[in-house]
Amino acid sequence: MGRIHILVVGRNREIVPVLQRLIEQNEDWQCTVAYEDEEAILQFQQMQYDIVLFSSGIEEDSENKLRNVFRFQQPEVIIIQHYGGGSGLLHGEIQEALDQREAAHKARKNFFDGSLN
C-alpha cells in the first residue's frame, strides 16, 4: 500500500502539532497540517491525500464547505472527525478507516472479477 498521506485541519495551534506528531509515529503515515480553510484547500490541491482529519474547533459551516470541496475534487478521500481521546483512539480511527477502504476495494474487485468469469 505505500505511504498514507493525511491532511489535518484544525484551529488550535497547540493541539494540531500534537496530532501531527502522533500520526507521524507510524512510519507509513505522512501528515500535513492546515489551520485555515483556504490553507487546507490549497494543501489539498497540491497533493492527493488518503485521509482528511478534522480536529475539534472547526465551525460547522467551515467543515461542511471543506467536505464539499474535498469530495468534489477527490470523491474517494476518507474524512474523519477527531474529537480527541488520546493517541490510541487517533490511531484506531485512522486504521479503521483504512481497513474499511481496503475491504471495500477488495469487495469491488471480487465482484468485478467474478462477473467477468
Q: Domains in the chain, start-ordered, CATH in brackets?
A: 4-115 (3.40.50.2300)
User: What per-residue confidence (pLDDT) applies to 108?
Assistant: 72
Helix (H, G, I), strand (E, B) or coil at 58: coil
Q: Where are the alpha helices (DSSP H) in the chain?
A: 15-23, 37-46, 60-73, 87-115
Average pLDDT of span 67-73: 97
C-alpha cell at 30: 505522512
C-alpha cell at 55: 480536529
The predicted model scores a pTM of 0.87
Q: Which of 27-36, 50-59, 82-91 has the lowest mean pLDDT?
A: 82-91
CB 51 within 8 A of CB 7: yes
Cβ atoms within 10 Å, residue 5: 15
Q: Is the pLDDT of residue 116 over 60?
A: no
